[in-house]
Structure formats: structure tokens, C-alpha cells
Amino acid sequence: MVEISFLTGSDRTRWEVLARGHDAHGGVERGDDAYERTWRRLLEGGDRAIGIGARLDGNMVGIAHYVFHAGIWGNARCYLADLFVDAEVRRLGVATAMIEWVARDAERNGFPRLYWNTLSDSPARALYDKVAKMNEGLVVYTYRREAEGDLASSRKRHQG
């Protein structure tokens, strides 16, 4: 049976192993300071960043990070930013249990809309297609600032 709970200080070492596994799986490289900063944010929870751990037989085998935020039209939302399960225990219901746990927590806290992103070729899509509805035709853009500075600097260069 999967046991899920909020992260606590004693989870730090195993959380980082799983967080680094998540990043390696996604081809993301981060410095040690990023893990430390994120860990503090998850434990403090002041900016609504929340972390949970999933355990099988007392061993943490999965993590999820999510954040509550307002919607422009009043529809409060919960964004599932990260979900990762140790490869050795995949397909045992851990990810499903974490998604359902996050959905219940979001609903309890007044944030009924849960959403997340994934890569189009992600193997996890088989699960996501079972537990969620995909918005066909929705294209997600992420803004990249110019290497030379921020948007205001860019405007000044183009205007001036």
C-alpha cells in the first residue's frame, strides 16, 4: 500500500536523490544551491509550494511538488510542477496515488482545478491519459528572455 505525506526535515536526503533523478530523467542540470533553495521553499510553504513523498514499505519511492495559485477569472488552480517515481517501483500505482492525493489536497484547500504539463513523448502519458483529460489543440508556450537582458531592456534597444 502506498503511503503519502507532506515532506518533513527527515526526508531531505532521499528527496534529493529523487529530485536529481527527476532532473536527470528530464535532461535538466541544476547546481547544489538550487536543490537547497527548493528544499527550503517546500518545507516553509510560505509561497504555497508544497512537497509530498510517497512510500512503499516505509521507503520513499516518489515525490511530487505542487503550487496553489489564483486564476484570472476566479477559478483557483493547482499546478503539479513535478512528479517522479523511482524506476524500480513504477507501474505499482505510486504515481496514480500521488496525483489523487494532490487532487484531494487541492480540493480541500479551495483549488479545484489540477493541471500539469509533460513532454509529448513521455512514457508517463499512458498514465496521464487514464487519469486526466488532455486539452486537444492546446499549445503551451514558455517565454525565454533575450540573453542580453530583460524585456524592458529589449524594448529600449528596439525603440532607441
93 pLDDT above the threshold of 90: yes
Name the grid cell of 58.
Answer: 516505509
Cα of 90 vs its chain's centroid, Å: 17
pTM of the full structure: 0.82
In 59-77, which positions are buried (b, 16+ CB within 10 angstroms) versus exposed (e)?
ebbbbbbbbbeeeeeeeee
CB contact at 8 A, 75 and 29: no
- Computed over every residue of the chain, the mean pLDDT equals 85
Query: Quick one: three-class SS letters along 69-131?
Result: ECCCCCCCEEEEEEEEECHHHCCCCHHHHHHHHHHHHHHHCCCCEEECCCCCCCCCHHHHHHH
Q: Can you give the C-alpha Rg of the chain in angstroms?
A: 18
158 pLDDT above the threshold of 90: no
CB contact at 8 A, 101 and 7: no
Q: With 0-12 CB in 10 A as exposed, 13-18 as middle and 19+ as buried, what is 152? A: exposed
> pLDDT by residue (tens digit) across 6-63?
999 999 999 999 999 999 888 889 999 999 999 999 998 777 799 999 999 999 999 9
pLDDT of residue 147: 59
Can you tell me whether residue 59 is helix, strand or coil?
Answer: strand
159 pLDDT above the threshold of 90: no
pLDDT of residue 12: 96
